[in-house]
């Protein structure tokens, strides 16, 4: 082949594939853990959990982590056979049929999109309050939101590695400050004897507020499934993705449980409940930092709250862009979404579209005078949480469906029992979220059911669209999920080949 023909082939292939073998284990871990935003979870969910659900928050975090690890056992086994940036889509299609895959894809894109948008409200709100309190700079919330929009837009459009490095720096800083605080608390001790009541089953599973604890518990791990989204860009998908998944979930489970429990040591088991019942309960972590480390720690932590929300924003922007890319490649969305940058191979068109949608959401919020926290960030966050946990539950069932026909040499525990237990736990988690939805949104009345409605509507609508596509465009339907994604040939197989693999 001539040099000119080679360049022509490269130009043809570039728009339809992501950059292979670019991301290692730790890069993916940083994306996933940053999406979970550990500092924001500890600073907000811990005090609220103690206030509403009692002392069992640390135990609930561990329990939710165990459920997600069970799910991940089968989830990571499946990455060997289905490698695609639209992870839940391909899992649903291969495990429960293509219509189900389309349904879960629409729901996941919707959920990721709302989660991405909501963090602009959080960044704007906390950016405004932090800079006003610490630096006496009083700018509107939307200034900080728009600055974040520009930065995320550039990173998402151009170069994913830069995004990973940014997340690594921010994540390391927020985790480090919390660990320093925890060590200081343990060294100095608290006003009461150390208690492990937070892990007692009666306080975790059977207390009056247990349902609320698991709303925050499952919400704290949002985005962990993002490891599979990066399989096409992983250096060694067969090992990178499972390792990143286990590391991310295990780290979050231990970190959340430990830091939540650390607050019961800092203020005492009884004292933390008394403090949580007060009007300034949301300042619990900042007060602990000020008391045990000094004013500097409280200041640093308030700054890191803003950067932590920014890290969430970047992680979900990357994840949602890749789902849009995958759906464009499958021609379930406009083909333009499947274009990638000629140099960095980032899904730049999908990223740009997501940036524009986020800009429109910010502009509408500004023009309507909606509160950036209560009216914009919280409702959009709650919609995304509900949809993504539902999608995780369907994906877990899909794993069981995929391996039930042929275990392909895996143990029954790994591909049937563990993911089935994970699916059961996620279903319970979604029910708890739905029945305690007012705790997430901060709203009362029928509006909560209206906000929940898109989850089943999109999922069922996607299934119906799949059957319509099968009837009216059978050739297109037959081609779904068969597109090669590059990398290891073991993942680039058709459905028939997958079924025949030993």
- Out of 4-8, 51-55, 157-161, 260-264, pick the least confident: 4-8
pLDDT of residue 132: 92
Q: Cα(71)–Cα(396) distance, rounded to whole angstroms? A: 6
- Out of 59-68, 190-199, 200-209, 256-265, pick the least confident: 200-209
Q: Cα(334)–Cα(456) distance, rounded to whole angstroms? A: 24
Question: Cβ of 488: how many Cβ atoms within 10 Å?
Answer: 15
Q: Cα(393)–Cα(75) distance, rounded to whole angstroms? A: 11
Q: Cα(407)–Cα(488) distance, rounded to whole angstroms? A: 20
Q: Which conformational region is residue 138 in: left (phi greater than 0), alpha (psi within -120 to 50 degrees), or beta?
A: beta
Q: Cα(357)–Cα(369) distance, rounded to whole angstroms? A: 18
What contacts 418, CB < 8 A, 6 or more positions away?
Answer: 70, 71, 73, 74
- Out of 3-7, 50-54, 106-110, 305-309, pick the least confident: 3-7
Provide φ and ψ at 122, rounded to 5°. -65, -45
The yes-or-no verdict on residue 41 having pLDDT over 80 is yes
How many C-alpha atoms does 393 have within 13 Å on its Cβ side? 20
Question: Cβ of 490: how many Cβ atoms within 10 Å?
Answer: 12
pLDDT of residue 27: 78
- 474-476-477-478 Cα dihedral, nearest 10 degrees: 90
pLDDT of residue 13: 41
Three-state DSSP class for residue 25? helix
The share of the chain scoring above pLDDT 70, in percent, equals: 87
Contact 149, 141 (CB under 8 A): no
Give the pLDDT mean for 339-357.
86
pLDDT of residue 314: 84
What contacts 367, CB < 8 A, 6 or more positions away?
Answer: none
The yes-or-no verdict on residue 14 having pLDDT over 50 is no
Contact 370, 404 (CB under 8 A): no
The share of the chain scoring above pLDDT 90, in percent, equals: 51
- Dihedral sign for Cα atoms in the order 195, 196, 202, 204: positive
| Type and span of the H or E element at 323 | helix 295-329
| Residue 180, CA distances (Å) to 164, 187, 272, 298, 306 in order | 24, 11, 20, 12, 19
String of DSSP letters for 55-92: TTHHHHHHHHHHHHHHHHHHHHHHTTT---SSHHHHHH
The rounded mean pLDDT for the chain is: 85
The CATH H-level (homologous superfamily) assignment of domain 18-485 is Amino acid/polyamine transporter I (1.20.1740.10)
What contacts 122, CB < 8 A, 6 or more positions away?
Answer: 40, 309, 312, 373, 377, 381
The yes-or-no verdict on residue 231 having pLDDT over 80 is no
Cα-based angle 48, 53, 58 (whole degrees, multiple of 5): 80
pLDDT of residue 451: 93
What is the distance in angstroms between the CA of the first residue and the CA of the last residue of the chain? 37
pLDDT of residue 342: 74
Q: Cα(336)–Cα(313) distance, rounded to whole angstroms? A: 23
Global confidence as pTM: 0.83
Contact 57, 198 (CB under 8 A): yes
pLDDT of residue 204: 92
The yes-or-no verdict on residue 502 having pLDDT over 90 is no
Q: Cα(466)–Cα(330) distance, rounded to whole angstroms? A: 12
Q: Cα(321)–Cα(24) distance, rounded to whole angstroms? A: 19
Contact 441, 378 (CB under 8 A): yes
pLDDT of residue 232: 66
- 382-387-388-394 Cα dihedral, nearest 10 degrees: 150
The yes-or-no verdict on residue 372 having pLDDT over 90 is yes
- Out of 128-137, 238-247, 265-274, pick the least confident: 238-247
> Could you report the per-residue pLDDT of 103-145, keeping only the tens digit for each?
999 999 999 899 899 999 999 998 998 999 889 999 999 999 9
């Amino acid at each position: 082949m001539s040099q000119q023909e080679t360049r022509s082939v490269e130009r043809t292939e570039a728009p339809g594939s992501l950059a292979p073998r670019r991301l290692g284990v730790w890069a993916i871990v940083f994306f996933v853990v940053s999406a979970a935003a550990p500092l924001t979870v500890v600073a907000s969910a811990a005090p609220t959990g103690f206030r509403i659900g009692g002392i069992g928050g640390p135990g609930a975090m561990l329990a939710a982590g165990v459920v997600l690890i069970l799910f991940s056992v089968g989830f990571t086994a499946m990455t060997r056979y289905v490698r695609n940036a639209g992870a839940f889509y391909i899992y649903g299609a291969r495990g429960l049929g293509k219509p189900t895959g389309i349904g879960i894809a629409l729901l996941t894109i919707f959920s990721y999109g709302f989660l991405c948008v909501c963090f602009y409200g959080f960044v704007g709100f906390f950016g405004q309050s932090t800079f006003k309190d610490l630096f006496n700079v009083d700018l509107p919330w939307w200034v900080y939101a728009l600055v974040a929009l520009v930065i995320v837009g550039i990173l998402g459009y151009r170069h994913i590695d830069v995004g990973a490095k940014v997340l690594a720096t921010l994540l390391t800083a927020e985790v480090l400050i919390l660990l320093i605080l925890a060590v200081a608390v343990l060294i100095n001790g608290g006003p009461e004897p150390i208690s492990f009541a937070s892990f007692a089953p009666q306080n975790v599973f059977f207390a009056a507020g247990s349902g609320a604890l698991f709303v925050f518990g499952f919400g704290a791990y949002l985005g962990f499934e993002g490891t599979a989204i990066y399989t096409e860009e992983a250096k060694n998908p067969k090992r990178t993705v499972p390792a990143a998944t286990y590391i991310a979930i295990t780290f979050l489970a231990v970190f959340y449980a430990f830091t939540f429990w650390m607050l019961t040591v800092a203020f005492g088991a009884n004292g933390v409940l008394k403090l949580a019942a007060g009007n300034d309960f949301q300042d619990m972590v900042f007060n602990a930092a000020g008391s045990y480390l000094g004013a500097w720690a409280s200041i640093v932590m308030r700054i890191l709250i803003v950067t932590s929300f920014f890290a969430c924003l970047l992680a979900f922007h990357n994840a949602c862009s890749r789902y849009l890319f995958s759906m464009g490649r499958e021609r379930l969305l406009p083909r333009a979404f499947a274009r990638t940058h000629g140099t960095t191979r980032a899904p730049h068109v999908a990223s740009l579209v997501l940036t524009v949608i986020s800009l429109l959401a910010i502009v509408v919020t500004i023009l309507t005078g909606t509160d950036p926290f209560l009216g914009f960030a919280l409702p959009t966050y709650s919609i995304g949480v509900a949809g993504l946990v539902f999608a995780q539950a369907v994906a877990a069932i899909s794993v069981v469906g995929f391996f039930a026909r042929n275990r392909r040499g895996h143990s029954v525990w790994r591909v049937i029992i563990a993911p089935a237990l994970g699916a059961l736990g996620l279903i319970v988690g979604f029910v708890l979220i739905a029945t305690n939805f007012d705790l997430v949104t901060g709203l009362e009345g029928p509006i909560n059911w209206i906000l929940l409605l898109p989850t089943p509507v999109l999922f069922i609508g996607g299934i119906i669209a799949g059957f319509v596509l099968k009837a009216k465009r059978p050739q297109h339907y037959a081609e779904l999920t068969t597109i090669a994604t590059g990398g290891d040939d073991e993942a680039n197989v058709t459905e028939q080949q997958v079924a025949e693999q030993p």
